[in-house]
Amino acid sequence: MYNWQQHDWPNFTYDTLQIKGLLYDFVGWSTGLLDVISEESKKGAIVELS
């Protein structure tokens, strides 16, 4: 199911305590990814996100 198919779309509510572990996992994974990609790729990713 996609997020826009949820009954409360787009007014989501969530409990940060329930997703805290997932957020820490994501931050750890993304930080590790930044360590292995080239400086040029990092700059390209920043431009894409802007």
Q: What is the pLDDT of residues 1-50, one digit of tens each?
A: 888 898 888 887 878 888 888 888 888 887 777 778 888 887 777 765 54
Question: Residue 41's domain spans which residues?
Answer: 3-49
Name residues whose C-beta falls within 8 Å of residue 37's C-beta, 6 or more positions apart in sequence: 45
The count of structural domains within the chain is 1
Q: What is the pLDDT of residue 26?
A: 84
Rounded Cα distance between 6 and 18, Å, is 18
Instruction: Give SS3 for 35.
Output: helix
pTM of the model: 0.42
pLDDT at 3: 84
Contact 15, 23 (CB under 8 A): no
What pLDDT is stored for residue 49 in this prediction?
54
pLDDT at 48: 57
